[in-house]
Amino acid sequence: MRTIVPTLSLLLAAGVAAAGNVTGDADRGRRIHLGEEQIAGVAACSTCHGTDGNATQAPTFPRLAGQYAEYLVYALESYTNGTRNNAIMLPIASGLTRKDMEDLAVFYAAQKGDLRDLSEVITD
Amino acid sequence: MRHALPARLLAIALTAATGTAAAAEGNAEDGRVKAYTCAGCHGLEGYRNAYPSYRVPKIYGQHYEYLVAALNAYRSGERNHPTMRAQGESLSDQDIADLARFLAGAPAPAAQ
């Protein structure tokens, strides 16, 4: 307990957020998303996925706001390991570290949007 | 009488064209019925994909065009996910359009 409590307080103070099994820095995720923190070879995610992650400007790009963080990390890794073959996302995802992915994922998971789990829609 | 045949052909042509348009547009009501299969994973509270383990994504409220592209990618193998590939292979273009039209529907009232 002696070590756990101070560690937790430190993490909280640093703005670390947990979403499911993913822990990340949502504020850093936001900065990467907006291009305020630039990563070599990685365009600002907001260009295609929208300032708030709802991708309102281009329906071929997915909405990310409110999506599960674990799924977002899986999807990003899928573009880098060949599970998903996508010419746009391959170079972008390849430029991200696992930490970058986690920071982005917890940021998107915390945004408000139209995405819903089907359990909320199909109830019978 | 002379004009009867061309008129009929025109009617057939129009019917065919309408049919094509319906396939491209998708029918949300048909999609709702077809989506019962999707709900087996995407509609169970906290349902997780195994190996690797992660929560299956929220798919309702997503863009129609993206959903069509994603389902086509699973069907073609561009996205290699065993369960979704098997699902995709069983879907016709019409099924994909119907599912995407339903899933892209107006968002349900927020329940969270």
CATH value at residue A23? 1.10.760.10
In a domain, A98, yes or no: yes
Q: Which helix (H) or strand (E) holds B36?
A: helix B36-42
Which burial class, exposed, middle or buried, applies to B11 when counting CB atoms under 10 A from its CB (0-12, 13-18, 19+)?
A: exposed
Q: How far apart are CA A73 and CA A84, in angstroms?
A: 13
Contact B43 A83 (CB under 8 A): no
Those residues whose C-beta lies under 8 Å from the C-beta of residue A101, and which sit 6 or more positions away, are A72, A73, A76, A77, A93
Contact of B46 with B39, CB cutoff 8 Å: no
Which burial class, exposed, middle or buried, applies to A82 when counting CB atoms under 10 A from its CB (0-12, 13-18, 19+)?
A: exposed
Instruction: Identify the domain containing residue A41 by its residue range.
Output: 16-112
Percent over 70 (pLDDT), chain A:
85
In a domain, A82, yes or no: yes
pLDDT number for residue B51 = 84
Each residue's pLDDT tens digit, B63-104: 999 999 999 999 999 999 999 999 999 999 999 999 999 999
Please report the ipTM that was assigned to this predicted complex. 0.85
Domain count, chain A: 1
Helices B93-103 + B4-25 axis angle, to 10 = 60
CA–CA min distance A115, chain B (Å):
5
Contact of A49 with A32, CB cutoff 8 Å: no
Q: Does A20 touch chain B (CB under 8 A)?
A: yes
In a domain, A83, yes or no: yes
In a domain, A1, yes or no: no
Fold category of B26-103 in CATH: Cytochrome Bc1 Complex; Chain D, domain 2 (1.10.760)
- For residue A70, the chain B residues in CB contact (below 8 A) are 53-55
Each residue's pLDDT tens digit, A43-87: 899 999 999 999 887 899 999 999 999 999 999 999 999 999 999
pLDDT number for residue A58 = 84
Q: Does A19 touch chain B (CB under 8 A)?
A: no
Contact B69 A60 (CB under 8 A): yes
Q: For residue B111, what pLDDT band results from cuts at 50, 70 and 90?
A: very low
Report, in angstroms and rounded to the nearest whole number, the Rg of chain A calculated over CA atoms.
Answer: 15
Each residue's pLDDT tens digit, B11-62: 444 444 444 444 568 999 999 999 999 999 999 988 999 888 999 999 999 9
pLDDT mean across residues, chain A: 88
Task: Give the residue extent of every domain in chain B.
Answer: 26-103
